[in-house]
Structure 1
Amino acid sequence: MSDRFLLCALVAALLATPAWADTAPKGERAGTFKQVEGSVTATLGSETRKVRSGDAVFPNDRIQTAADGAAALTLRDGTELVLGPQAQLQVAGFEFEPTTQSGSLLLSLLHGSLRMVSGLIAKLQPEKAQVKTPTLVIGLRGTDFIVEAP
């Protein structure tokens, strides 16, 4: 192979790898964006990425929807989350061990609306699942609920 071909292949590989990939925890995918409408971004560390359906959700992601945006995501324990327009949610903590079905979940709704259907963590270990807002903390007990933060 020519040096020029190798250089082109290297440049293409570098361009195909998003800048945030190095900051994402390896093998620590918290879940998946199942449906994304409008403008939705996720920030991990100092890197912000535009998300699409099928993209990964990572622990510590800060997910933000624009006025025209909404997102539905599923975490690895089966927790389902739906964010409305102009919402901001921090996946502040997520750990899940599928073989023992144990883990912990901490979500921080900074702004906007969130619908949540609890997964295994909240159903089996309710004391280890919480949603915080600027004004309250919700302990989960295997429920389906909607919460809104100013």
Structure 2
Amino acid sequence: MKKLSMLIFALVMAASGNAFAAEAAAGGYVHDAVGDVSVVVGKAAAQSAKVNDAIAPDTVINTGDKSHAVLKFEDGQVVVMQANSSFHMREYRYEAKQVEKSNILFAMLRGGMRFVTGLIGQRNRGAFKLTTPNATIGIRGTEFMVVMGNSPMYSQVVSGSISITNAAGTAVFTAGQTAIVASATTLPATISAAALPAGTFTELGAIPIPPATPAPAPAPAGGAATGGATTTTTAATAGAATGVSTTAIAVGVGVAAGVAAISSNTTTTTHH
């Protein structure tokens, strides 16, 4: 029995270590995925994205027709993607105790997106950068939308302000203003509501936005069985009480249960 206990402990620690490593390498997760949403990590093949999937650096999220996705990050940063959009999380580093050491580098490849600043952008404005084919956008504690067509890029500031920079120079836009960037070599300029193509930001405005509050990514969904759900919930409670990762605890409980089942089978066979 002593040997079995030691085996369980070793397996739990190994599983917990893997879980901790996975969480530390992530930083973001899929908060909502409706329709055709895929995720590509590095050079791996695209896979269907699911709610609570982790988003690690060098991950690309794509949305198809009549689809949308909402991504959330540890510092509270929110990214809303409308249909037919492509987002690349190039870099994400969040130091909760030293936010000035944190940084975000996102890339918008196509489509339309809404960005709600989290703690990183609020406390260290220079730490957030969004690159697009036409320009690079910096923020000043803000919420803004970006939609790219075949050529012009439009950006509307909901709150705060943004700076848009390209080969032609830099321009700053504040809450209520809409910018147009005709190309990578054309200076960003203000565009009036009357001149803005109809419905430019309508789709983005209709997608629900979660609060931009800092929170760790949730543990991946467990099995469909009722027993599994109960075990995960119990593990989460234990993790909250001890400060240990709920993902690691849940994995450890699963390993322990598996070993216990094996032990039970072995004991029965021996007695017979």
TM-score (norm 2): 0.45
1:109 touches 1:149 (CA, 8 Å); kept in 2?
A: no
Counting only pairs closer than 5 Å after superposition, residues 1-150 of structure 1 correspond to structure 2 as 27-47=24-44, 48-102=46-100, 103-150=102-149
CA-to-aligned-CA distance 1:85-122 (integer Å, 9 cap, x gap) = 00001001111112223410011101000101001111
For residues 134 and 30 of structure 1, what CA distance do their matches in structure 2 show?
A: 25
CA-to-aligned-CA distance 1:124-146 (integer Å, 9 cap, x gap) = 11111011110011111110110
For residues 40 and 105 of structure 1, what CA distance do their matches in structure 2 show?
A: 22
Q: 1:26: how far off?
A: 6.5
One-letter code aligned to 2:73: L
CA-to-aligned-CA distance 1:1-31 (integer Å, 9 cap, x gap) = xxxxxxxxxxxxxxxxxxxxxxx96731121
Q: 1:75: how far off?
A: 0.8
More helix, by proportion: 2
For residues 116 and 149 of structure 1, what CA distance do their matches in structure 2 show?
A: 14
Q: 1:68: how far off?
A: 2.3
Q: 1:63: how far off?
A: 0.7
1:40 touches 1:50 (CA, 8 Å); kept in 2?
A: yes
| SS, match of residue 121 in structure 1 | helix
Q: Which residue of 2 aligns with 1:4?
A: none
For residues 129 and 76 of structure 1, what CA distance do their matches in structure 2 show?
A: 14
1:89 touches 1:109 (CA, 8 Å); kept in 2?
A: yes
One-letter code aligned to 1:141: R
CA-to-aligned-CA distance 1:34-65 (integer Å, 9 cap, x gap) = 11000111111121221111111111111100
More strand, by proportion: 1
One-letter code aligned to 1:74: K
Q: Which residue of 1 aligns with 2:197?
A: none
5+ residue gaps, structure 2: 1-20, 150-272
For residues 27 and 118 of structure 1, what CA distance do their matches in structure 2 show?
A: 21
One-letter code aligned to 1:32: Y
2:99 touches 2:124 (CA, 8 Å); kept in 1?
A: no
Q: How has the CA–CA distance of structure 1 residues 91 and 71 changed in structure 2, closer, same or farther, with 3 Å as cutoff?
A: same
For residues 60 and 121 of structure 1, what CA distance do their matches in structure 2 show?
A: 19
| SS, match of residue 94 in structure 2 | strand
One-letter code aligned to 1:136: A
Larger radius of gyration: 2
